[in-house]
């Protein structure tokens, strides 16, 4: 069983939303997102958490916890289960990724030692899926309703943080535009006739 993800992931409107989001966010680590991954690990007991943004070719971690120091923050999209979440717009819950027909043989299993994986969509303010909030472990894991509720709630919190940061960036740009207009208007009034 394969999951069709390419059409939705590579949709031009979705990619434009990702680009608009990356401008204010950037790809570096930020405390607001790192606190969410720390909370996910602390509350679920699962050792690894990642918040990703997904473009047409790569999955890039905005926050990554529980991986060895120096682990890459970006990977080809074909080597990430996040593509399935973005492609469907729905959570993907896998108790045993090595035997689950949706993920068996996937590159992400060996690349991330992902024996189990759960991911929920991260969306912009308009509901466009930008990436995923994921939890994983090297061993199979039976996800509890509490685990999934925590992950869903934290994915919404990450989405809200993205929306807040984008709104702040839009407001700052509007202020700069307004200041430039005011400065030009002042110059026009002072010009001799």
pLDDT in tens, 144-165: 999 999 999 999 999 999 888 8
* Per-residue model confidence (pLDDT) at position 177: 64
pTM of the model: 0.85
pLDDT in tens, 128-140: 999 999 999 999 9
- Residue 51's pLDDT band, with cuts at 50, 70 and 90, is very high
Top-level class of domain 6-167: alpha beta
- C-alpha torsion sign, points 114, 120, 123, 127: positive
Domain regions of the chain by residue span: 6-167
* Per-residue model confidence (pLDDT) at position 24: 55
Whether 24 and 166 have beta carbons less than 8 Å apart is answered as: yes
Whether 9 and 54 have beta carbons less than 8 Å apart is answered as: yes
């Amino acid at each position: 069983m394969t999951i069709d993800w390419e059409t939705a992931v590579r949709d031009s409107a979705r990619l434009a939303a990702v680009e608009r989001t990356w401008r204010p966010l950037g790809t570096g680590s930020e405390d607001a997102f790192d606190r969410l991954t720390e909370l996910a690990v602390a509350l679920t007991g699962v050792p690894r958490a990642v918040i990703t943004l997904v473009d047409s070719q790569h999955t890039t971690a905005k926050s990554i916890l529980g991986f060895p120091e120096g682990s890459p923050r970006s990977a080809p999209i074909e080597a990430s289960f996040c593509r399935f979440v973005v492609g469907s717009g729905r959570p993907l819950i896998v108790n045993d990724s090595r035997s689950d027909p949706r993920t068996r043989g996937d590159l992400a299993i060996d690349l991330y030692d992902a024996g189990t994986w759960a991911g929920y969509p991260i969306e912009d303010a308009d509901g466009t899926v930008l990436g995923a909030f994921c939890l994983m472990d090297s061993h199979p894991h039976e996800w509890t309703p509490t685990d999934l509720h925590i992950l869903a709630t934290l994915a919404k919190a990450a989405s809200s943080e993205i929306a807040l940061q984008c709104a702040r960036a839009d407001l700052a740009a509007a202020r700069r535009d307004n200041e430039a207009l005011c400065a030009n208007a002042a110059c026009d009034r002072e010009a001799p006739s």
